[in-house]
Amino acid sequence: MKQTSERPVTLSEVQEVLKEQEKEYSEAGKELIYEQKKSKEYADKFVKLTVKQAKEMCEQLVALPIQLPAERIVKIVDLMPETTDDVRAIFAKERFKYTEEEIKQITDLVAKYK
């Protein structure tokens, strides 16, 4: 598999890609390699949204008046933080601090998808 580009993806997207890969491999009489199997198991265990829901949520997070990096948007979608402390943990390495109001916007949006 050749890498043509790089972007952060949600766990839902990872799960979908690995399911397609597993289907292709099984048709060819092959199995997923160890790392792919482990990644698929992890995704199956922890994915919380469908791909469609995850993409919708990403779009809504981008539309917020907060400048969120793509990597953090993906983390928010994957982890579905419920409290302001959960959101702060995601942004712990950021130099810029978000206000209570901005964090509330994020938790309110996440609550819509619970």
| Residue 48 CA: distances (Å) to CA of 76, 78, 99 | 11, 7, 27
Report how far residue 98's alpha carbon sits from residue 112's, in angstroms, rounded to the nearest whole number: 21
C-alpha to C-alpha distance for 114 and 98, rounded to whole angstroms? 23
Q: How many domains does the chain have?
A: 2
Q: Quote the pLDDT of residue 1.
A: 63
- Do residues 25 and 39 share a domain? yes
* pLDDT at residue 5, as a whole number: 85
User: 59 and 17 in one domain?
Assistant: no
pLDDT mean values, one per 10 residues, the chain (114 residues): 85 96 93 95 95 96 93 96 94 86 95 92
What is this structure's pTM? 0.88
pLDDT at residue number 94 = 82
pLDDT of residue 97: 83
Could you list the residue range(s) of the whole structural domain that residue 98 is in?
A: 51-112
